[in-house]
Amino acid sequence: MKSLDYKFDFRDERNLSLVMDFYELTMSQCYFNSDHKDRIVTFDLFYRRNPDSGGYAVFAGLEEIIGYIQNLHFEDSDIAYLRSLNRFNDEFLEYLRHFIFTGDIFAVKEGTPVFPYEPLIRVKAKIIEAQLLETAMLLCVNHQTLIATKAKRIVKAAQGRAIMEFGARRAHNFDAANYGARAAFIGGVAGTATTYAGQKFGMPVLGTMAHSFVQSFDCEYDAFLAYAKTYPDSCTVLLDTYNTLKSGLVNAIRVAKEYLEPNGYRLQGVRIDSGDMAYLSKKIRTALDVAGMEDCNIVISNSLDEYLIQSLISQGAQINSMGVGENLVCSKSAPVFGGVYKMSSIFDGDTMIPKIKVSENVEKVTNPGYKDLYRIYDMESGKAVGDLMTIHKESLDPNRDLTIYHQMNSWKNKTIPGGSYVLRDLLEPIFLNGELVYEVPDLQEIRAYSEQEFSCMWDEILRFEYPQTYYVDLSKQLLDLKLKMLEDVKHAG
């Protein structure tokens, strides 16, 4: 897919350092003015609910975060703007002028199936450095994880039929179109209609003709013939500009028989963008087969989503591939992912002081401490049976029985026999002491990794309706810490 004479670079050349909530800066000046400036803290980025009431999410956006952090700096124009607000002192502005990130970041690999409450990204850094990353990390993860998850659902519904991302014109501006296409590719789409995404990320780009192309010729046949002459080895025509069956289909077959086949080519496909897709596709398939064009693909588009695709297939629609637009790139049915970024601990020298956020809403209570995250795989089936959060560097022995606990209730637990499972540390080092130590994979590698990881998920987790809840549990040590901290807060109140 990648040509040898073109270099793909995921990094954004723009200086986006001020793409942050203003309170990141106001809090940071308070830290700077206090004795907290150099305090080491940890933050977890996680989310609370799966999109579309599904059973999982597909983690995406890490590559964009890496580029952002590598380019994070404040230029003279940024400093001048902040000074004009009359909210920041000269000492703090001078600190920002020389700002560089010097902390550690660990993260789940892009494409990994992930679940609520587990840390997708773990940051350990000086408090100002950790704080200033919040907005950018959330917007990258919230957007791309949302779209990758939606794409995965749509691809699953298609049951092996190719899905093409067609959403740029419905996306929420340029970046949403380009990074949405990238995320959709991680989720499994075959390619995109967004040319810039192909250039920047090395994605396959796809596209044929619009209704305006057909309308610009004196007749539909002339439009199809002109396209066939220009692209004889990849000709797909749009049938529904005038009348799908009585005009478009007839002229498509005519062009195939009068020009393409006599010159050694085949009509690659026909596309419909309106009407009863199930009925029309069956009629088109019959006519093409009668004409000896069994290899001609039928492509559909027009406001598709996973449920409509599922319905069409159940009706016996004769479809080879689909173009999906706004329902994918905008995740229309679930347009907000809801990732959050919460402090989990403060360090006093080498001593970790856990922190917890308490709320009357149980779902908003955080898991305290500097934590690790493991995926537990059954040795016999190779399937993932759950994820486990532990206190950092907690001792685990796969040869011994492992009991994992519900995040709020010690009586809800599951014991996995020793020797029957393997553990995989999901959080990989990305930055150490501010230096990038992660070898950033290309998009094809991320996609292939994601497909492999999803093959380790049980079908019950992946189903659309009432999916089985995947275990994301705590070690006994972490649960005891959490419950003690909650009890302490209760008595303190």
Give residue-wise pLDDT tens across range 102-125: 999 999 999 999 999 999 999 999
User: Which band of pLDDT confidence, cut at 50, 70 and 90, is reported for residue 407?
Assistant: very high
Q: Which of 206-210, 360-364, 414-418, 422-426 has the lowest mean pLDDT?
A: 360-364
Please give the model's pTM, rounded to 2 decimal places.
Answer: 0.95
Mean pLDDT value across residues 54-76: 96
Q: What is the pLDDT of residues 435-453, one digit of tens each?
A: 999 999 999 999 999 999 9
pLDDT of residue 492: 78
**Residue 2 in this model has a pLDDT that exceeds 70:** no
**Residue 128 in this model has a pLDDT that exceeds 50:** yes
pLDDT of residue 480: 96
Nearest by Cα to 179 from 203, 163, 162, 160: 203
Q: Which of 286-295, 360-369, 371-380, 447-456 has the lowest mean pLDDT?
A: 360-369
Q: Which domains does the chain have, with CATH numbers?
A: 22-146+333-364+442-468 (3.20.140.10), 207-318 (3.20.20.70)
- In this structure, what is the dihedral angle of CA atoms 117, 483, 31, 96, given to the nearest 10 degrees? -20
Q: Which of 1-15, 224-238, 427-441 has the lowest mean pLDDT?
A: 1-15
Give dist(CA 94, CA 75) in Å, integer.
11
Q: What is the pLDDT of residues 286-304, one digit of tens each?
A: 999 999 999 999 999 989 9
Mean pLDDT value across residues 82-107: 98
Region of residue 95 (left: phi > 0; alpha: psi -120 to 50; beta: else): alpha
pLDDT of residue 1: 42
pLDDT of residue 362: 87
- Mean of the per-residue pLDDT values for the chain? 95
Share above pLDDT 70 across residues of the chain, in percent, rounded to a whole number: 98
User: Which band of pLDDT confidence, cut at 50, 70 and 90, is reported for residue 429?
Assistant: very high
**Residue 253 in this model has a pLDDT that exceeds 70:** yes
pLDDT of residue 276: 96
Instruction: Compute the radius of gyration of the chain from its Cα atoms.
Output: 26
**Residue 3 in this model has a pLDDT that exceeds 50:** no
Q: What is the pLDDT of residues 458-476, one digit of tens each?
A: 999 999 999 999 999 999 9
pLDDT of residue 5: 55
User: Which band of pLDDT confidence, cut at 50, 70 and 90, is reported for residue 8?
Assistant: low
